[in-house]
Amino acid sequence: MDTTQIWQTIDSERAATAELLAGLSDVEWTYPSLCEGWTVREVAAHLTLAPHATIGGAIRDFARARGSFNRMIDQTARRSARRPTAEIVADLRGSVGVHKLAPGQKLKDCLMDIMVHTQDMALPLGIERHMPAEAAIVAADHLWQIGFPFHARRRLAGHRLVATDADWSTGEGTEVSGPIEALVMLLAGRSATIPKLTGISA
């Protein structure tokens, strides 16, 4: 995928995720997500932040978090989550077409972020959403290559990951196979899709 195609996919995923969120009940917004310590509301709020982030704001947030990246992500999501549900949905809808990355963010980070976090919300709610296959391959390659914060190559050392519905594989060792989107979630440190995979257990 080239840059234009990736942004088109990000826009499409943001729009679809906004529609998913708009259809949730008040109770569903309080469901635990796959992100430890976050409900659906915190994940949704987190997705609205990157398109509007500035260098100055990021520096202030990092300072408030006492130099911890993970603490910064958590604190900013929780602050944003205090807003009304309708405002969070409107912000995510409004980010469609905003082709701006957060400071330090790469384009493939942005693609992976929207696809993985949508699953973080949808799976616990029992809502079936599928990642676009070509974009999932891009995300899988990216997750395998980067270290922080997922460290997929270290966690999955000794395994060969093979997609059964896409032309994608990586690693060496015991074969772990299944749908590409289930592998993407595994690479991102989630265990929820392990039942869809063979060759690995939770």
Q: Is the pLDDT of residue 121 over 90?
A: yes
Assigned domain for 77 exists? yes
CA distances from 74 to 59, 69, 79 (A): 15, 9, 9
The per-residue pLDDT for 59 is 86
Q: Answer for the pair 35, 43: CB distance below 8 angstroms, yes or no.
A: yes
Return the C-alpha torsion angle 100, 105, 106, 111, nearest 10: -70
Q: Is the pLDDT of residue 13 over 80?
A: yes
Are residues 10 and 95 located together in one domain of the fold?
yes
Assigned domain for 69 exists? yes
Are residues 100 and 18 located together in one domain of the fold?
yes
Q: Please, what is the end-to-end C-alpha distance for the chain in angstroms?
A: 32
Are residues 93 and 138 located together in one domain of the fold?
no
Assigned domain for 118 exists? no
Are residues 88 and 160 located together in one domain of the fold?
no
Assigned domain for 152 exists? yes
Structural domains counted in the chain: 2
Share of residues in the chain with pLDDT > 90 (%)? 84
The per-residue pLDDT for 129 is 92
Which residue segment(s) compose the domain that 61 sits in? 3-104
Whole-number mean pLDDT of the chain?
Answer: 95
User: 35-39, 53-57, 149-153, 171-175: which range is least confident on average?
Assistant: 53-57
Are residues 72 and 156 located together in one domain of the fold?
no
Q: Tens digits of per-residue pLDDT, 80-119?
A: 999 999 999 999 999 999 999 998 899 999 999 999 999 9
Share of residues in the chain with pLDDT > 70 (%)? 100
Are residues 138 and 88 located together in one domain of the fold?
no
Are residues 100 and 137 located together in one domain of the fold?
no
Assigned domain for 21 exists? yes
The per-residue pLDDT for 90 is 97
Are residues 46 and 85 located together in one domain of the fold?
yes
CATH classification at residue 161: 3.30.1050
59 or 24, which is more confident? 24
Q: pLDDT-derived band of residue 69, with 50, 70 and 90 as boundaries?
A: confident
The per-residue pLDDT for 65 is 87
Query: What is the DSSP-derived secondary structure letter of residue 78?
Result: H
Assigned domain for 66 exists? yes
Average pLDDT over residues 11-29: 98
What would you measure as the largest C-alpha separation in the chain, in angstroms? Answer: 48
Q: Tens digits of per-residue pLDDT, 142-175?
A: 999 998 889 999 999 999 999 999 999 999 999 9
Average pLDDT over residues 28-50: 96
Are residues 90 and 175 located together in one domain of the fold?
no
Are residues 137 and 99 located together in one domain of the fold?
no
